[in-house]
Amino acid sequence: MSNNKQSLVPEAREALNRFKMEAASEVGVNLKDGYNGHLTSREAGSIGGQMVKKMIESYENGMK
């Protein structure tokens, strides 16, 4: 498996970035465009956790 940053669906990168910014806003983490090396592990994890939570909710709602 290669480790490049080329997306299979280029349009998905921007959508995922918007999703990440939305999730960060919901958990109260201030993200900026580009590198966010100032974030603590807890803040980064809360963003990822919120994203997973929303993806699961979306999937479950689609099953109904």
What pTM value is reported for the model?
Answer: 0.79
Tell me the angle at which helices 41-63 and 10-26 cross, rounded to the nearest 10 degrees: 110
pLDDT at 17: 92
Question: Which ranges in 1-64 belong to alpha helices (H)?
Answer: 10-26, 41-63
Return the SS3 of 62: helix
Q: Which of 64, 61, 62, 58 is nearest to 23 (CA)?
A: 58
Please classify residue 58 by burial: count the beta carbons closer than 10 Å to its beta carbon, then call 0-12 exposed, 13-18 middle and 19+ buried: exposed
pLDDT in tens, 5-43: 677 888 898 999 999 999 999 999 999 988 999 999 999
pLDDT in tens, 36-60: 999 999 999 999 999 999 999 999 9
